[in-house]
Structure 1
């Protein structure tokens, strides 16, 4: 083990933490084009130290994104003891999305941004982004199953698409699209009769 990394941070684990902290901040604020030199300078470590723990910048990017995923999900999803209705829990996610977008430091969803910037299909960071979206979709599906929706898989994917589209759209516009994500999600839930007076899974057949 190279002793220079220990000298820089006090512990080897500190080197990794500083690299991931710097990577999360720089990639979020400036995009994936940030170079290794700038990353190492921001982290206060040498390139040699970085390569002790990661084979490439791509690995650092994926690791930083993976480390942020649990916290990001925890901020979006309801807590384990939430006893509100499935509709309320789903719409609460979109309300929190809009609150996030209103923050002055908002630069978009890191998972949507990374997936858009990285063009290589098997890039490790894209795998992390897909896992995040799979977990978000799984939450929606679980709530929709509880609500008795007839086709929960499709509606869960549509809700995830609203999440992605809202973050992409607000990034393009350069401003939060207030109320849009929640209203779009509510429209989808209304169409499936989630939380309406009629049962979700017993929608009337269209008239002929």
Structure 2
């Protein structure tokens, strides 16, 4: 089935926003690069912010599905937690890697009450819930604390990979995660 113009617009806009940022990307650029007229865009979305929210929802779904699938392939919970960093390395090695779209969204829309900032924060909360569940399944005495620590390593690796001043930020973060997990009773 052929995707709708709306779905096509969201998919293509996601690529452009991810590459160029939200504030730097105007509707004229989106129209030129997607081949979808501004009239059609505004038929589907009342504002650029509504389009941004739709792209963030799509990115959240795609990213979490990809990451959790990669983690599940590793086997037991402890291995899944470490596999998160192997998946990050795969992502960082992609030529189109441009950091985390949600970190960028929260940075460009810094007011926590703004819907775009809130959408970015929700993505991070959903990641936390999954990592916390795996930490509990791995036997961590304080799953929330372990999840917070592992996600701090993940976020730091993303920023370090984006800046590009270290050779293997995902590997460095995985080494630190192994130290944290060594304190969890087997």
TM-score by length of 1: 0.78
CA distance in 2, matches of 1:79, 1:105: 19
CA distance in 2, matches of 1:68, 1:110: 8
Q: Which residue of 2 aligns with 1:181?
A: 173
Structure 1 or 2: more helix by fraction: 2
- The unaligned stretches of length 5 or more in structure 2 are none
Matched, 1:31 2:21: yes
What displacement does 1:162 show? 1.4
1:175, CA displacement in angstroms? 6.4
- Give the superposition deviation at 1:184: 2.1
The structure with the larger Rg is 1
Distance across 2 between alignment mates of 1:175 and 1:114? 24
State how 1:46-195 maps to structure 2 within 5 Å: 46-78=37-69, 84-173=75-164, 177-178=168-169, 179-190=171-182, 193-194=183-184
Tell me the distance in 2 between the aligned counterparts of 1:39 and 1:17. 14
Aligned CA RMSD, in angstroms, stands at 2.3
Q: 1:154 to 1:96 in 2, by over 3 A?
A: same
In structure 1, runs of 5+ residues without a counterpart are 1-10, 201-208
The separation in 2 between residues aligned to 1:109 and 1:81, in whole angstroms, is 21
| Contact 2:82/2:178 (8 A) holds in 1 | yes
